[in-house]
Amino acid sequence: MDLGIAGRTAIICASSRGLGRACAISLAEAGCSVIINGRNEEKLAATADEIREKTGVQVTAIAGDVSSRDIQDKLLAACPAPDILVNNNGGPPPTDFRKLDRSSILEGVAQNMVTPIELIQRVIDGMVERRFGRIINITSASVLTPITGLDLSSGARAGLTSFLAGVARDIAHANVTINAILPGMFDTDRIRGNIERMATLKNLDTETIRQERINSVPAKRFGEAEEFGKVAAFLASAHAGYITGQNILIDGGAFRSAF
């Protein structure tokens, strides 16, 4: 399917690896020029080279923490009028909520709620004026169902979801959409790190924890990042203008609900 976004520009935050990287690759394959971002310069450069070689599109790499105002400025200097914005950022590691102090709570909220709101504030009026815009927020299945130890991440991402629910409706008339994708367990560095931490907490080996998690998914596997990227590319497409204010759950059936 031609997604109808060839020649568009996309900013993809935290996209040197994992789900963000998959989104950048899928959007580049659809013909978008992409501005990618990550904290590790070496991994970011490798991702940029891979996308250029694979797709031939223009790729701009901006290294740094997207929660920093300076890095946000650099992203928007590289792409002042993006057609597509994919908000993504690392979340706090699994932690017993009793051990969270004020500083760590504020940092988690800044990373996973405030940062995407700041970027949306800066690009949304231009999208409305141009009568095209696609904003995609990568949140988490934990917005819908609690995951042990991820209370801070879940709370911040749920806050972002609620904050933008009304905004999405206010700008829908201009062919600008805001949606969230809620990943379940995907085979990425993040879940591997979480498994290692959980194994340490429970005094079990990592393979036991990994298999427990796989067994909890009806699909009996972790998701592949490429699958996630393809869904993001469709939501960014010309064909998805009537989808807005939605939370798209991709979790292999792990969240058990009829509605």
- C-alpha span between 137 and 242 (Å, rounded): 17
Residue at 174 is within a domain = yes
Please give the pLDDT value at position 190: 84
Please give the pLDDT value at position 244: 98
Please give the pLDDT value at position 148: 84
Same domain, residue pair 76 and 202:
no
Residue at 259 is within a domain = no
Same domain, residue pair 35 and 135:
yes
CATH number of the domain to which 17 belongs: 3.40.50.720
Length of the chain: 259
Neighbours of 24 (CB within 10 A): 35
How does pLDDT run along the chain (259 residues), one tens digit per residue? 999 999 999 999 999 999 999 999 999 999 999 999 999 999 999 999 999 999 999 999 999 999 999 999 999 999 999 999 999 998 888 889 999 999 999 999 999 999 999 999 999 999 999 999 999 999 999 999 988 889 999 999 999 999 999 999 999 999 999 999 999 999 998 889 888 888 888 888 999 999 999 999 999 999 999 999 999 999 999 999 999 999 999 999 999 998 8
Same domain, residue pair 13 and 33:
yes
List the end-to-end C-alpha distance of the chain, in Å, as a whole number: 29
| Domain span including residue 165 | 9-184+225-250
Same domain, residue pair 58 and 85:
yes
Same domain, residue pair 152 and 206:
no
Same domain, residue pair 128 and 150:
yes
Same domain, residue pair 218 and 127:
no
Same domain, residue pair 194 and 180:
no
Please give the pLDDT value at position 77: 98
Same domain, residue pair 72 and 159:
yes
Residue pointed to by tokens 């990618």: 36
The structure's pTM equals 0.95
Same domain, residue pair 110 and 192:
no
Please give the pLDDT value at position 13: 98
Dihedral in degrees, nearest 10, Cα atoms 58, 59, 60, 62: 170
Please give the pLDDT value at position 202: 84
Three-state secondary structure along 147-211?
CCCCHHHHHHHHHHHHHHHHHHHHCHHHCEEEEEEEECCECCHHHHHHHHHHHHHHCCCHHHHHH
Closest C-alpha among 142, 146, 120, 124 to residue 133: 124
Same domain, residue pair 46 and 165:
yes
- C-alpha span between 230 and 245 (Å, rounded): 19
